[in-house]
Amino acid sequence: MAAENPIFVIRELNFYYRAKLALSKISMEVLPRRITALIGPSGCGKSTFLRCLNRMNDTIPGARAEGQILLDGQDINAEGVDVVTLRQRVGMVFQKPNPFPQSVYDNVAFGPRVLGLVKNNAELDETVERSLRQAALWDEVKDQLKQNALGFSLGQQQRICIARVLAVQPEVILFDESTSALDPIATLHIEELISELKQNYTIVIVTHNMQQAARVSDFTGLFWLGELVEFSPTDRMFTRPKEELTEAYLTGRMG
């Protein structure tokens, strides 16, 4: 079987907040339809790296990247790259659920409307239903589509946000500690959902929960003080880590 082409190739990425070096010489590849987990202590660069993948850091004054981030072979930081299109292709689910203060339907319909992805209301209805089904939420909200999304539980709000991302048909979905604000049952729902979504999407998650990384991911990267210490298949990292620092972190001796 031929080797798969990675969807993301990151080469020698350095990232700065003004003069402060936040990421140093990060190189890794992200394979399609796999779950890649990024672990490491707080403040080690995981979320900064995740936000580099769809240029969410562009909004921060003085932030800049060096090196290459190639998405399907194209450098996302090159001149002329349309950031709106990039963020359609590489969607993001944040740490805390952030639905818009409007109906469930309008939350999910927002992207397709703005981006002109549907021709008429019937297509929009189909897109909303499909996205909510993919987010494992349709049966819970199908009779409450006109209700304000903020009236639902946090776990349901997070799945509404996932449906909102799915509605614009991304290739990659980034999850930035998306279960850290949720209770254990809601967390399990999201983990099961992420595992199902990898059949059609490439997924990168940042998590503080090493057990979560071990449960759901195919590949894991350990970040430490802005550097990528180790990156390997998850089962190998958790059973036979190459680096002493990785073993010390995974066994709780450091971090």
pLDDT tens-digit map of 17-28 = 999 999 999 999
Q: Residue 1: what pLDDT?
A: 44
54 pLDDT band (50/70/90 cuts)? very high
Tokens, residue 54: 């769809």
Look at the block and give the residue holding tokens 């996302």.
76
Q: Are 207 and 224 in contact (CB under 8 A)?
A: no
Domains and CATH numbers, the chain: 8-250 (3.40.50.300)
pLDDT for res 104: 98
State the residue for tokens 């709780």. 252
| pLDDT-based confidence at residue 254 (cuts at 50, 70, 90) | confident
* Residue 219: band (very low, low, confident or very high) from pLDDT cuts 50, 70, 90: very high
Tokens matching residue 152: 């639902």
Backbone angles phi, psi at 158, to 5 degrees: -65, -35
Residue 255: pLDDT band (50, 70, 90) is low
Q: What residue type is 154 in one-letter code?
A: L
Average pLDDT, the chain: 95
